[in-house]
């Protein structure tokens, strides 16, 4: 009993941080209508800024009070910079573009911090007193209570601010209907900026106070966005009080779950408590929150009615794809081995990106779980081969089926939410799969990685170590690369053709207006489920190809940072076009573009962090130029030009001009 | 006398395609002007271009003698344009009283003015806009616009979704407000007869082009013009309609 109390109180610290991030999410939603995925990273940045100021990393070390104040000022400035760079230019862009921009901010913050300070957590000097108090016989640090108290006071203050002041009234109005707010003489831009500054300063304050209690880490703090999103969902993205209470409760719950894992009744494996239970619990909490709150999530009225990037017609595919296919085929045979490997990886990543084209581009549902599904496929192939002796082709079939079933199940759990809100569920699912399956030593690779047997058919080795005339066994074999090329081309044609067929039309109908689609007889649920199925099967296929490509599967390749990088790069290049998938695929980790960067441009180590940084920056720059994605924007320009040409000729003899003469 | 609003050669539209072309129009102080025309003529686009919600492609917008063509919509609203759009521009989560408090820093909305013109609102000050009836919502939208004491009131399809009897009650209030405060009113309305009943002058639009201005009471007698304002059609010829109209007035007056 005392232990339960102790762990509840210890959970207050992380609960306070989760509550703060949840409050930040609510503030961003109210201020600019964005689900701010970067809210957790903001707390991390504040922690690092304070650490620098206090320990004298760049300049002479400051005393505590000036360091805290300067941190808050810098956070306010950072809010202004992010607002100007990543929020304001996208006001009239689709909500998807704004969400992707917040992913870009997250990637950028995380990569920048990791490059400057390294990936290991830093020990921040304590701000709160280290004294302990005795509560009903348990000795606990007083800092935990102070931290929770500060967050509760902040939440109450924000509630008052929004209920009783002119600013609060204006923000509530603008968050409901931007256009009406403009007509009322309010400026949504200034309101968004003000809310964003408040969010950053609040996050900064709690980040500084909590730094010494929970530790400052570039890998864990940004991911606290997942439980924070659960809290924000329970608060309907509106109530600061509920967000705060739910955040604290989640923190306490996680602490108690940790306590439970030390008990004898807790499920164990090989003598250790089952990993990832916390992330699985968070996922189910989000699913429950969505079932409960999903239909009542506030929708935001936008100045521009456009919600998603347009889907250009996909024509003359053969003529466009043929040179690329030919180039790949030649490259797979003649280039040195590291480049052959990179081309194959690019092809596999293309298949993965095609799954984003289906689910994000055609159906407009933002899913970040695709990479985790691919990982699931890869690990399944590995385990089936090593433990059950099930090899090619039955193993891959089972693996793809498993990924599909899980993807459909996640999609079904999220049927009540649509569009960008889906990111919340899929993010939680991706992290749950990563921690529960991949990190599990028996099911996943654990820390070491799992071996994969090469596929053989009728005794012929088709894998990456297959023999190929003229190469004398240097890996990887062009044979596997060529097979991957054939598979990629088939799936590419399938996805491109989907856009032109009947199912594709129904997907686009669901995407633009679910109610209208249902009204004309489209079964919205069925279309979504089928789309999740197709996307998950593509992801599973990519996973199987990854596994055979590298002959080993490690959990590190399927982490959430890589998943977010991939989602962001697909969107920025053109998520509604199959060509966008190809570009993003060849820019993915391990593929051709990063290899070139690694070889000749960037330092050899930490290549994935560098790629993350580059994609984060490139994303924010590109979104300003073509908020719908690079290829989509260019394609639309082309279409518009063609239309203008077609219009300009007959307009010379338009009826109005003819009539004008006799009058 | 300076005009409340003057448009010169205004062109506007969406995504690069022009909907309104070369429109000239003016609204005097205390004057109610109605903009008539078939669907797709560009009436709503004109109002949006005046309040700045959409960008103009050319021409100038002058408010009370000041050129506001390059002023942001937020600042235009602050300079005294009150635009009640087709969707009424309300915030469903806010109460009546909150709507009448909502303004920029230092701006004081005259809630009493709203309650004076629409006494029914005073009884429901704590009701959220989202749960109010269509008529109540329209009253709130108008009351809010009046409470801002605008120099120019733009009204888009007040009657949308409302029973004619309610429209008959709303429109005279607009007339009264214009007379009492000197606010200029530009009115887009499907109920042409009702609109002409309270208006001073009218413009007829077709295919994004505007006509010369007509006297409202004269226009009421010209069935052909009223028909054209409803139906339009490809053969709508604003110039010949105007010639015929003037011909008719001339004939009647010379008799």
Looking at the predicted structure, is the pLDDT value of residue A659 above 70? no
The model's pLDDT over A461-513, given as tens digits with 9 standing for 90+, comes to 777 777 776 665 666 778 888 899 999 999 999 999 998 889 999 998 888 88
A110-114, A308-312, B229-233 — which one is most confidently predicted on average? A110-114
Tell whether omega for the bond before A589 is within 30 degrees of 0, i.e. cis: no
Query: Could you read off the pLDDT tens digit of each residue along chain B, which spans 255 residues?
Result: 578 899 999 999 887 788 888 899 999 999 999 998 888 888 899 999 999 988 888 899 999 888 998 899 999 998 889 999 988 889 988 899 999 888 776 677 888 888 988 988 999 999 999 899 888 999 999 999 999 889 999 999 888 878 888 888 888 999 999 999 999 999 998 888 888 889 999 998 887 787 778 888 888 887 777 777 777 666 667 777 788 888 888 888 787
- Tokens 């499907």: give the residue: B190
Q: What is the pLDDT of residue A302?
A: 44
Q: What is the pLDDT of residue A398?
A: 93
Show the domains of chain A with their CATH numbers: 2-260 (1.10.3470), 335-639 (1.10.3470)
pLDDT level of residue A657 (50, 70, 90 thresholds): very low
CATH of domain B3-80+150-254: 3.40.50.300
Q: What is the pLDDT of residue A356?
A: 94
The string of DSSP codes covering A435-462 is: IIIITSTTTS-TTT-EE-PPPEETTEE-
Least confident span in A21-30, A272-281, A436-445, A558-567: A436-445
Least confident span in A83-87, A452-456, B147-151: A452-456
Looking at the predicted structure, is the pLDDT value of residue A650 above 80? no
Interface test mutation site (partner A, options B74, B90, B154, max chain A beta carbons within 10 A):
B74
Pairwise pLDDT comparison (A108 vs A263), residue with the higher score: A108
Q: How far apart are CA A304 and CA A179, in angstroms?
A: 9
ipTM confidence score: 0.86
Any B CB within 8 A of A397 CB: no
Q: What is the pLDDT of residue A301?
A: 47
In Å, how far is A583's CA from the nearest CA of chain B? Answer: 28
Q: How far apart are CA A84 and CA A32, in angstroms?
A: 12
Looking at the predicted structure, is the pLDDT value of residue A275 above 90? no
Any B CB within 8 A of A625 CB: no
Pairwise pLDDT comparison (A514 vs A79), residue with the higher score: A79
Q: How far apart are CA B242 and CA B253, in angstroms?
A: 17
Q: What is the pLDDT of residue A660?
A: 36
Instruction: Name the residue of chain B whose CA is nearest to A174's CA.
Output: B91
What does pLDDT average to over chain A? 84
pLDDT level of residue A445 (50, 70, 90 thresholds): low
Interface test mutation site (partner B, options A178, A183, A304, A641, max chain B beta carbons within 10 A):
A183
Any B CB within 8 A of A657 CB: no
Helical axes A370-388 vs A524-550, angle rounded to 10°: 50
The model's pLDDT over A514-557, given as tens digits with 9 standing for 90+, comes to 888 888 889 988 999 999 999 999 999 999 998 888 888 888 78
In Å, how far is B172's CA from the nearest CA of chain A? Answer: 24
Task: Give the percent of chain A with pLDDT over 70.
Answer: 93
* CB-CB neighbors (< 8 A) of A303 in chain B: 53
Any B CB within 8 A of A305 CB: no
Q: How far apart are CA A525 and CA A528, in angstroms?
A: 5
Facing residue for B85 by CB, picked from A170, A183, A656: A183
Looking at the predicted structure, is the pLDDT value of residue A305 above 60? no
Instruction: Name the residue of chain A whose CA is nearest to B92's CA.
Output: A176
User: For chain B, give me the number of helices (H) and strands (E)?
Assistant: 11, 10
Answer yes or no: do B94 and A169 touch at CB < 8 A. yes
What φ, ψ does residue B39 adopt, rounded to 5°?
-55, 140
Answer yes or no: do B89 and A166 touch at CB < 8 A. no
Looking at the predicted structure, is the pLDDT value of residue A269 above 90? no
A130-134, A291-295, A529-533, B86-90 — which one is most confidently predicted on average? A529-533
Any B CB within 8 A of A161 CB: no
The model's pLDDT over A140-175, given as tens digits with 9 standing for 90+, comes to 888 889 999 999 999 999 999 998 888 999 998 888
- Give the residue range(s) of CATH 3.40.50.300 domains in chain B: 3-80+150-254
Looking at the predicted structure, is the pLDDT value of residue A368 above 80? yes
Q: How far apart are CA A629 and CA A613, in angstroms?
A: 19
Interface test mutation site (partner B, options A170, A180, A645, A661, max chain B beta carbons within 10 A):
A180
pLDDT level of residue A628 (50, 70, 90 thresholds): confident
Pairwise pLDDT comparison (A295 vs A377), residue with the higher score: A377
Q: What is the pLDDT of residue A298?
A: 58
Pairwise pLDDT comparison (A299 vs A181), residue with the higher score: A181
Mean pLDDT of the region A294-299: 58
Q: What is the pLDDT of residue A306?
A: 54
Q: How many residues does chain A have?
A: 663
Answer yes or no: do A169 and B90 touch at CB < 8 A. no
């Amino acid at each position: 009993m005392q232990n339960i109390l102790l762990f509840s109180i210890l959970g207050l610290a992380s609960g306070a941080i989760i509550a703060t991030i949840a409050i930040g999410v609510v503030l961003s939603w109210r201020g600019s209508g964005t689900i701010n995925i970067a809210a957790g990273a903001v707390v991390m940045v504040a922690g690092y800024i304070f650490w620098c100021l206090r320990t004298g990393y760049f300049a002479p070390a400051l005393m505590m009070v000036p360091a805290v104040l300067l941190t808050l000022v810098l956070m306010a400035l950072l809010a202004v910079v992010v607002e100007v760079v990543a929020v304001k230019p996208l006001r009239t862009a689709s909500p998807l573009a704004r969400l992707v921009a917040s992913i870009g901010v997250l990637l950028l913050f995380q990569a920048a911090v990791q490059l400057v300070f390294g990936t290991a957590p830093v020990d921040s000097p304590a701000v709160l007193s280290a004294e302990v108090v005795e509560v009903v016989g348990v000795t606990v640090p007083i800092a935990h209570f102070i931290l929770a108290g500060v967050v509760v006071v902040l939440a109450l203050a924000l509630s008052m601010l929004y209920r009783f002041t002119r600013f609060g009234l204006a923000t509530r109005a603008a968050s409901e209907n931007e256009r009406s707010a403009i007509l009322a003489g309010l400026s949504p831009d200034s309101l968004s900026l003000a809310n964003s500054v408040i969010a950053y300063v609040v996050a900064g304050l709690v980040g500084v106070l909590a730094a010494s209690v929970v530790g400052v880490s570039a890998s864990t703090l940004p991911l606290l966005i997942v439980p924070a999103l659960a809290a924000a969902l329970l608060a309907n993205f509106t109530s600061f009080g509920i967000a705060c209470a739910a955040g604290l409760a989640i923190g306490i719950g996680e602490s108690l779950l940790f306590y439970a894992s030390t008990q004898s009744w807790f499920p164990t494996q090989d003598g250790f408590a089952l990993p990832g239970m916390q992330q699985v619990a968070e996922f189910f909490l989000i699913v429950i929150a969505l079932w409960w709150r999903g239909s009542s999530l506030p929708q935001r009225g936008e100045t521009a009615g456009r919600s998603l990037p347009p889907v250009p017609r996909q024509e003359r595919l053969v003529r466009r794809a043929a040179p690329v296919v030919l180039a790949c085929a030649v490259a797979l045979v003649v280039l040195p081995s590291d480049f052959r490997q990179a081309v194959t990886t690019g092809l596999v990543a293309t298949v993965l990106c095609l799954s984003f084209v289906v689910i994000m581009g055609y159906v407009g549902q933002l899913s970040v779980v695709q990479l985790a599904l691919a990982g699931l496929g890869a690990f399944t192939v590995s385990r089936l081969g090593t433990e059950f002796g099930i090899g090619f082709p039955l193993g891959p079939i089972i693996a793809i089926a498993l990924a599909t079933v899980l993807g459909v199940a996640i999609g079904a759990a999220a049927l009540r939410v649509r569009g960008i809100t889906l990111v919340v569920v899929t993010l939680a699912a991706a992290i749950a799969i990563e921690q529960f399956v991949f990190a599990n030593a028996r099911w996943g690779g654990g820390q070491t990685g799992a071996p994969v047997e090469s596929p053989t058919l009728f005794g012929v080795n088709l894998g990456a170590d297959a023999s190929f005339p003229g190469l004398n066994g240097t890996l990887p074999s062009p044979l596997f690369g060529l097979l991957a090329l054939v598979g990629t081309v088939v799936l590419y044609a399938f996805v491109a053709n989907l856009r032109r067929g009947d199912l594709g039309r129904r997907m686009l109908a669901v995407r633009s207006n679910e109610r209208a689609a249902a009204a004309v007889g489209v079964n919205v649920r069925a279309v979504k489920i089928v789309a999740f199925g197709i996307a998950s099967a593509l992801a599973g296929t990519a996973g199987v190809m990854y596994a055979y490509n590298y002959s080993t599967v490690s959990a590190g390749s399927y982490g959430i940072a890589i998943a977010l990088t991939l989602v962001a790069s697909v969107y920025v290049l053109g998520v509604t076009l199959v060509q966008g998938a190809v570009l993003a695929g060849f820019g993915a980790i391990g593929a051709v573009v990063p290899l070139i960067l690694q070889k000749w441009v960037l330092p050899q180590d930490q290549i994935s962090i560098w790629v993350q940084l580059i994609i984060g920056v490139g994303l924010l720059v590109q979104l300003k130029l073509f908020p719908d994605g690079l290829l989509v924007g260019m394609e639309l320009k082309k279409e518009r030009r063609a239309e203008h040409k077609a219009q300009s000729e007959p307009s010379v003899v338009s009826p109005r001009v003819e009539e004008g003469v006799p009058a | 006398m300076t005009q409340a609003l003057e448009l010169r050669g205004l062109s506007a539209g969406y995504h690069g395609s022009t909907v309104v072309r070369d429109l000239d129009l003016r609204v005097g102080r205390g004057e109610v002007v109605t903009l008539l025309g078939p669907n797709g003529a560009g009436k709503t686009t004109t109002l949006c271009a005046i309040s700045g919600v959409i960008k103009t492609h050319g021409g100038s917008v002058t408010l009370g003698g000041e050129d506001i063509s390059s002023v942001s919509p937020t600042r235009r609203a602050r300079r005294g344009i009150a635009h009640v759009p087709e969707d009424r521009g309300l915030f469903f989560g806010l109460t009546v009283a909150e709507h009448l408090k909502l303004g920029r820093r230092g701006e004081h909305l005259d809630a009493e003015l709203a309650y004076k013109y629409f006494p029914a609102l005073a009884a429901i000050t704590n009701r959220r806009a989202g749960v109010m009836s269509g008529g109540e919502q329209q009253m709130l939208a108008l009351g809010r616009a009046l409470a801002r004491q605008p120099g120019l009131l733009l009204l888009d399809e007040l009657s949308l979704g409302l029973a004619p009897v309610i429209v008959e009650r709303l429109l005279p209030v607009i007339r009264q407000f214009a007379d009492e405060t000197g606010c200029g009113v530009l009115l887009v309305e499907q109920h042409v007869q009702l609109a002409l009943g309270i208006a001073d002058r009218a413009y007829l639009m077709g295919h994004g082009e505007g006509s010369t201005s007509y006297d409202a009471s004269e226009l009421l007698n010209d069935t052909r013009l009223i028909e054209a304002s409803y139906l339009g059609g490809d053969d709508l010829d604003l110039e010949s309609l105007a010639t015929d109209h003037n011909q008719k007035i001339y004939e009647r007056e010379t008799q």
